[in-house]
Structure 1
Amino acid sequence: MLTQEKLTDPSASFMQTMMSLFFTDEVTPYSGRKEVEALPPMETMVLGLMCLERTYNSEHFPNRLRFKYRSFSPRECGIFTEVGILGLVQRGYLRLASKRAETALNARDENVWGLGNVPFVVTAKGARRIGYLVADLRGGLYKDVVKELQAESREAAKSWWADVHVSMLG
């Protein structure tokens, strides 16, 4: 009966998620503070959703927020995406997938929230930081998930370039 309750109780997965994010090191009276400073809540949500949803493109990400979760207006999705992703890039958890991605990012309309159609790759540092959360929620071993996240994001970046190349030809 306890197992059944765990599956239907959303607080159980919430607690498991928070524990895996903020208590992976030695537990002290200040546990979690360093982790929150290294990965603030907005960036945690962005990186977590990117990895759990396998959505490593700044155009697909706000669409997922808007239509799957129905939690934000289109403007809020753009703000969330731009601020969260650029914060992750600045912290070294994500990087632009290529020089072409950098060109696409620089070509975006700065008067509109959002980043346009730009692929990102999860760095080793980012995969290690979010790996416990993803392993807990997807199921799997931490070390395997860390490798998978990096490989998935690289594959997504390759398909982005193929899609851009085809649209340029067509």
Structure 2
Amino acid sequence: MLPQEQLTDDLSLPFMRTMMSLYFTNEVTPYAGQDEAKTLPPMEALVLGMMCLTQTYNSQHVNNLLYRKYRMFSSRECGIFAEVGILGLVARGYLRPASKKAEQAICERNERVWGLGNVPFVVTAKGARRIGYLVANLRGGLYKDVVKELQAESRAAAKGWRADVRA
């Protein structure tokens, strides 16, 4: 990563590095990035990237980050963004509920209220490989090490959630 003073001079550099590592992993052609954008649309990319970069693998914590830390949207919009983004990632096979109880919590959620509640998720191997270039680029690690780390971090976070539920 570049020294801090270089980042503030040109803010387009971190943006370009981020986008390149997300959407241009193959040869550059007139259609480059279309397949990547279909497999990981921008909303899902933001949610998965935020989860992996902040080690936040819980739907309620994602919602709280959006609302309290980043102050991006209203409370309701944060719930919508987190729920739609996470469920999109689950549908694509990039995340999965951390346990049977987590799966049950998703199925039993109140559909009249946006947000998934307090549900942990685990990054799948497919999800770790898909977001791995971005995380490796921003963390400054090797891709293959980051893929393993992301899966291990999410599993460890899920174990902590299970302990909280039983107590």
Shared topology, TM-score over 0.5? yes
Question: Counterparts in 2 of 1:56-71, with a 5 A limit?
Answer: 56-71=57-72
> Distance in 1 between the 2:120 and 2:83 partners?
13
Separation in structure 2 between the aligned mates of residue 96 and residue 52 of structure 1, nearest angstrom: 19
1:142-161 matches, cutoff 5 A: 142-161=143-162
Structure 2: which amino acid aligns with 1:37? K
SS at match of 1:115: coil
Most deviating of 151-160 and 2-11: 2-11
Determine if contact 1:55/1:61 at 8 Å carries over to the other structure. yes
Aligned position for 1:6: 6
2:162 partner letter: W
Q: 30-39 or 6-15, which moves further after superposition?
A: 6-15
Which residues of structure 1 form unaligned runs of 5+? none
Cα distance in 2 between the residues matched to 1:40 and 1:46 = 10
Secondary structure of the residue that 2:122 maps to in structure 1?
A: strand
State the alpha-carbon separation in 2 of the partners of residues 7 and 127 from structure 1. Answer: 27
Per-residue deviation, 1:6: 3.0
1:10 deviates by 2.2
Unmatched runs of 5 consecutive residues or more in structure 2: none
Report the CA distance between 1:5 and its aligned residue. 5.3
Kept in 2: contact 1:94–1:123 (CA 8 A): yes
In 1: Cα distance, 2:162 partner to 2:88 partner: 24
The CA deviation string for residues 11-45 of structure 1, in whole angstroms up to 9 with x for no partner, is 11110000001111122221101100110010000
Q: Secondary structure at the match of 2:114?
A: coil
Deviations 1:78-113 (Å, cap 9, x if unpaired)? 000110000000001001111011111122111000
Count of residues in Structure 1 that have an aligned counterpart in Structure 2: 165
1:35-114 alignment to 2 at 5 Å? 35-114=36-115
Q: 1:124-163 maps to which residues of 2 (within 5 A)?
A: 124-163=125-164
Shift in alpha-carbon separation, 1:103–1:19, aligned structure 2, 3 A: same
Q: CA deviation at 1:4?
A: 6.1
CA contact (8 A) 1:95 1:122 kept: yes
CA contact (8 A) 1:6 1:12 kept: no
Question: Which residue identity lines up with residue 25 of structure 1 in the other structure?
Answer: N
- TM-score, normalising length: structure 1: 0.93
In the alignment, the residues of structure 2 paired with residue 16 and residue 116 of structure 1 have an alpha-carbon distance, to the nearest angstrom, of 33
Structure 1 Cα separation of the partners of residues 96 and 46 of structure 2: 17
Structure 2 match to 1:23: 24
Relative to 1, partners in 2 of residues 1:123 and 1:4: Cα closer, same or farther, differing over 3 Å?
closer
Distance in 2 between residues matched to 1:70 and 1:4, nearest whole Å:
23
TM-score (norm 2): 0.95
Shift of 1:145: 0.5
